[in-house]
A and B are shown apart, each in its own frame.
Chain A
């Protein structure tokens, strides 16, 4: 079946380094992708989104890259800070999306910041 997943369940990086969190998707018809951040004990928080007609989008300290050829999505966080510690997950919207909102959510990667 179609799924959205993350390559690594845990990613540990040094404070100040750049972080790259990956997401693979299998639905080639997906036209919209979202990255969320979820801190411990809190609800998910929108970070950045990208449409399938783009391959890169930048926000404040974050960049999302989309490679439709290999169906891969990544989130890059520049100069990682302690406050970036959280679980990050992606979501895709496809013609057979999981929910009535058309979105299928990935499982998440736990980003750990080492001092």
Chain B
């Protein structure tokens, strides 16, 4: 199986543009999450989902929307990009919540987003 895949790998946006970061996993994991990683800072949780049809906010949800219509896919939407959203974004999936089983969590390769 492919694990966790993310597209695109790189993206440059202008302020105000919208886009969707794609994340897919083929391991039938219930728990999926989005993080952002900024220089000099640790990973921060944006949104997460504990199953299809269920999403919730993480630590830094403002400016981002998510949906979980299937178990496999968990897209992250930026409705109006801002320079503060320049970051590397990681999607992750696991069969259980992260803190319960981090050894079963898989991270995607990341999307590097620049907002001008």
What is the interface of chain B, defined by CB distance below 8 A to chain A? Answer: 4, 33, 40-45, 48, 56-59, 90, 92, 97-99, 102-103, 105-110
How many A-B contacts are there with CB distance less than 8 Å? Answer: 67
Q: Which size bracket describes the interface of A in this complex? A: 20 to 34
B42 in contact with A43 (CB, 8 Å): no
Q: Are B44 and A105 in contact, with the CB atoms below 8 A?
A: yes
B107: chain A residues within 8 A (beta carbon): 42-45
Task: Check A101/B48 contact, CB under 8 A, given A41-B109, A43-B90, A43-B109.
Answer: yes
B residues less than 8 Å from A46 (CB atoms): 102-103, 105
Q: Which residues of chain B have C-beta atoms less than 8 A from A43's C-beta? A: 4, 90, 92, 106-110
Given the known interface contacts A43-B4, A43-B108, the answer about A98 and B45 at a Cβ–Cβ threshold of 8 Å is yes
Q: Which residues of A, 46-97, contact B by the 8 Å Cβ criterion?
A: 46, 49, 89, 91, 93, 97
Check A107 against B102 for contact (C-beta < 8 Å). Answer: no
Q: How far is the CB of A108 from chain B (nearest CB, A)?
A: 7
Nearest Cβ distance between residue B6 and chain A, in whole angstroms? Answer: 8
Asked if A99 CB lies within 8 Å of chain B CBs, one says yes
